[in-house]
Structure 1
Amino acid sequence: MDLFVVILNWNAAEDTIQCVKNMDEWQVIQPTIWVVDNNSHDDSVDQIRQRYPSVRLICNKTNLGFSGGSNRGMEAALAEGNAPILLLNNDARIGEDDVIRLGQTLEENRSWGFIMPLLVEAETGELVTVGRKNPVTHLQSAILELPDGDPMVEVEAVSGTAVLVNPEMLRQVGLLDEQFFFSAEIAELCLRANKAGYKCAVDVRASASHSVGSSPSLRSTLYVYYIVRNRFLILRKHYRYHVPLFLFWVAYSLALAGKLLLLGERPSARAAWLASWDGVWGRFGNQNERIMGQGM
């Protein structure tokens, strides 16, 4: 099985090295791996290059986020050939047999645009998600219950933590919208893929683990900001004239900011407020420095 793998790195060389090490131990698949460094401020590039010189390193001059970083890797993969592309977080792990399972599923039905495994928490083994729902038509987008029966579960969207992507779909539909920067860009691409006739699925016969290790400050500010703001970008792209849905998310986002403020979570409240403002007025792309520089 031919396989291309794209892994992002941002100041986390050890996670990335361990992720590559896991795949280096595979016996059947010999994947071509691209590591995309999003302008790390440490010595990540040197560490990765020294440990795994065969890995193809792409070094971005600026932090392009998940969307831009993944696009640079997928562009390189598409230029190389037509093998399936595995998007894999550097803090996620997936076994060779699981990847083979996903690859066989894609080969059996090329109408799948995305196929992801079950995602479990690395330390506890608890189920994290069985795919995702449309984030602008559902408050809770993660699917948390295992289905009965069919090993293939069609879903509205998938997680970008570990997902096999059909290269034919990318050539037809296009890559991730880099205005998202981080969060919801995969869901938006799933919506575009669906309009072009490609489906998203979870193969419950395969699984991957994910270890969430981001700092609390990032989760209370940047995560909140991008999750809230990027719903408005999906609204602009796919529900432009759905006024009730737009007004709902304006009200919800402002209510969230107020609730967080009442709970004493001032950084999160400010992030939610700025996300609401930017979403309504169309300020998208990378806002890391601005958000983190707001006295949070």
Structure 2
Amino acid sequence: MLNDRGKEVQDLREAMQPQVEGSAGDQQPGATLSVILVSFNTRELTLSCLGHLYSLELPSRTEVWLVDNGSQDNSAHHVREAFPNVSLICNEQNLGFSRAVNMALKRCSGRFALLLNTDCFPEPSAVAELLRVMESRPSVGIAAGSLLHSNGRPQNSFGRAPTLGTELLPKALLEVLLPSRFPSKRRPPSVPMEVESVVGAFLMVRRKAWEEVGLLDEGYFFFLEETDWCVRMRKGRWSVLHVPQARAVHLQGGSAAAQGAAARIEFYRSRYRFFRLHRGELAAATLKGGLILKGFCNLVFSGLMGVLPLPWTSKWRDRNRIHREILIWHLKGCPQGWGLERG
């Protein structure tokens, strides 16, 4: 028998466990594909994305998982009503993207998993194209598609893993002057191409690969978790592939997009973690010093532009506010309490 204190601890642990919903028939044993979405206060986007997903060319044995990170907009209820076949994992709080995805990866049964942002809408055959490439190339651990703006312009979908050069020098200039070393959307490939890193909004991963390399690093709350995964995949001798024929419109209108300075701070935090893990402490310290200097220059320049009587003055004032908050965060020692909202 548990004493009163032991019973309280057990009750607390049970309360912290995520709710998992979905019938055994929905969570298909031996599914070909498991589609995983994570939502946080993006109800309308999530519903639109799920509706679009079911209109695509998908394998007959496909299961869909949605991990809701403690949304306050009743997302889970609406998904439950509109899409009863979706397997829901409902967290009481925002646990971050990596941890949420890992919850689904641990429970899903697919030979492949598709990570799909709720603001990402693949073309009809895009998922099937990613799956075809993965099945025909057994050495590929991760394959990701080509992301587009709603007007068809290409977004950044792939590139080099971060280095001091890419983070401290003008990246656009590197891509123009050294396109073979710094591939980008400026010269998109016409056929599948091995790359160092891909953007995780529309990303397919092989079960065997993630079981060998490991799940997403939960030390990243948001941003660069997929970049870290790609680097670890390549170290584990798995290829990372960009598949231009698998196209998807990416609205970039998810929960982080509206967070302004908080999202930027979270991006800086993730960059520093990536450098400590993959480039070393000296490189991480050099990066931080360089970005603080760049941030100060950006603060001064945006402040000057914000006082000029020009049509875009308010835009520069907004930028100045963000640069100021980021610089203050650095000067305070990068405290953990700043950044995106956590549970």
User: Who is 1:163 aligned against?
Assistant: 203
User: Who is 2:127 aligned against?
Assistant: 99
Once the two structures are superposed, what CA deviation does each residue of 1:138-171 show, in whole Å capped at 9, x if it has no partner? 234982223456x111111111110111111110
User: Who is 1:249 aligned against?
Assistant: 287
User: Who is 1:136 aligned against?
Assistant: 163
* Aligned-partner Cα distance in 2 for 1:177–1:100: 28
- The secondary structure found in structure 2 opposite 1:129 is coil
User: Who is 2:326 aligned against?
Assistant: 271
Number of aligned residue pairs:
280
Larger Rg: 2
Name the aligned partner's letter for residue 152 of structure 2: G
Residue 40 of structure 1: how far off its partner (Å):
0.4
Gaps of 5+ in 1: 291-296
User: Who is 1:84 aligned against?
Assistant: 112
Is 1:54 matched with 2:82?
no
Residue 185 of structure 1: how far off its partner (Å):
0.8
Residue 27 of structure 1: how far off its partner (Å):
5.2
Whether the 8 Å CA contact 2:130–2:143 is kept in 1: the answer is yes
- The secondary structure found in structure 1 opposite 2:125 is helix
Match of 2:340 among 280, 284, 288: 288
Match of 1:43 among 74, 81, 95: 74
Name the aligned partner's letter for residue 155 of structure 2: V
Whether the 8 Å CA contact 2:147–2:154 is kept in 1: the answer is yes
- The TM-score normalised by the length of structure 1 is 0.85
Name the aligned partner's letter for residue 32 of structure 1: E
Name the aligned partner's letter for residue 221 of structure 2: F
* Aligned-partner Cα distance in 2 for 1:213–1:28: 25
User: Who is 1:116 aligned against?
Assistant: 144
User: Who is 1:294 aligned against?
Assistant: none
Once the two structures are superposed, what CA deviation does each residue of 1:201-232 show, in whole Å capped at 9, x if it has no partner? 11112211101225898453122112212111
Residue 115 of structure 1: how far off its partner (Å):
0.5
Whether the 8 Å CA contact 1:114–1:199 is kept in 2: the answer is yes
RMSD: 2.6
Residue 276 of structure 1: how far off its partner (Å):
7.6
Whether the 8 Å CA contact 1:7–1:36 is kept in 2: the answer is yes
User: Who is 2:10 aligned against?
Assistant: none
Once the two structures are superposed, what CA deviation does each residue of 1:76-108 show, in whole Å capped at 9, x if it has no partner? 22xx2x421000000101134111111111111
**Structure 2 vs 1, CA of residues 217 and 73 (structure 1 numbering), >3 Å: closer, same or farther?**
closer
Whether the 8 Å CA contact 1:229–1:276 is kept in 2: the answer is no
* Aligned-partner Cα distance in 1 for 2:231–2:138: 17
- The TM-score normalised by the length of structure 2 is 0.74
User: Who is 1:8 aligned against?
Assistant: 38
Whether the 8 Å CA contact 2:115–2:204 is kept in 1: the answer is yes
Deviates more, 1:132-141 or 1:43-52: 132-141
Is 1:67 matched with 2:95?
no
**Structure 2 vs 1, CA of residues 9 and 159 (structure 1 numbering), >3 Å: closer, same or farther?**
same
* Aligned-partner Cα distance in 1 for 2:163–2:208: 27
Is 1:182 matched with 2:182?
no
Name the aligned partner's letter for residue 286 of structure 2: F
**Structure 2 vs 1, CA of residues 189 and 238 (structure 1 numbering), >3 Å: closer, same or farther?**
same
**Structure 2 vs 1, CA of residues 17 and 148 (structure 1 numbering), >3 Å: closer, same or farther?**
closer
* Aligned-partner Cα distance in 2 for 1:237–1:11: 31
User: Who is 1:146 aligned against?
Assistant: 187
Once the two structures are superposed, what CA deviation does each residue of 1:231-271 show, in whole Å capped at 9, x if it has no partner? 11112212225x2x334312222123313432242334323
- The secondary structure found in structure 2 opposite 1:164 is strand
* Aligned-partner Cα distance in 1 for 2:155–2:298: 24
- The secondary structure found in structure 2 opposite 1:128 is coil
Name the aligned partner's letter for residue 247 of structure 2: S
* Aligned-partner Cα distance in 2 for 1:155–1:277: 37
**Structure 2 vs 1, CA of residues 116 and 215 (structure 1 numbering), >3 Å: closer, same or farther?**
closer
Residue 272 of structure 1: how far off its partner (Å):
4.7
Whether the 8 Å CA contact 2:118–2:254 is kept in 1: the answer is no
User: Who is 1:293 aligned against?
Assistant: none
Deviates more, 1:222-231 or 1:257-266: 257-266
**Structure 2 vs 1, CA of residues 219 and 275 (structure 1 numbering), >3 Å: closer, same or farther?**
farther
